[in-house]
Amino acid sequence: MKKLPQPRSGCPLSYALDFIGDKWTLVVLRDLIILRKRHFHEFLGSDEGIATNILTDRLKQLESAGLVTRVRDPAQARRVVYAPTAKALDLLPAMLEILRWGDKYFAGSKAPRALVRGIARDRDALVAGLRSGHRGKR
């Protein structure tokens, strides 16, 4: 397992960015938490076109950071199932606000309108619903 990075300072924003501040991590977490992807090949199917080596590295980093669990698929022992931890689910409010911000300022946004409306209408209820969808799947 990878060693966690040493904090650069006592700043909590800097600390958070050490885990989620690269180009791919929030995209992988989006796929896992919001789009409910569970298997490696499902992540590869995302529109962003992440390379297999980058995806492997990000999933290992997320597991080391305690944001993702990795277990054998009981239905097919050769496959692995990824699931968000409570720590990852705690990022949901921030992720949804970043998504809403991106949707507001990116004219080519393909964000599902129902999701964007749900964030604007009652973000806390949306977060609760997304969280409850992950209970018992870890």
In a domain? residue 59? yes
Is 73 domain-assigned?
yes
Task: Reduce the DSSP state of residue 131 to 3 states and report it.
Answer: helix
Q: How many domains does the chain have?
A: 1
Residue 4 lies inside a defined structural domain of this protein: no
Domain membership of residue 47 (yes or no) is yes
Rounded CA-CA distance 98/94 in Å is 6
Instruction: Tell me whether residue 5 is in a domain.
Output: no
CA separation (Å) from 138 to 41, 50, 75, 77?
Answer: 19, 24, 15, 16
Residue 86 CA to residue 68 CA, distance in Å, equals 9
Q: Which CATH number fits the domain that encloses residue 93? A: 1.10.10.10
pLDDT in tens, the chain (138 residues): 556 667 788 898 888 888 888 999 999 999 999 999 999 999 999 999 999 999 999 999 999 999 999 999 888 888 999 999 999 999 999 999 999 999 999 999 999 999 999 999 999 999 999 999 897 655
Domain membership of residue 52 (yes or no) is yes
In a domain, 7, yes or no: no
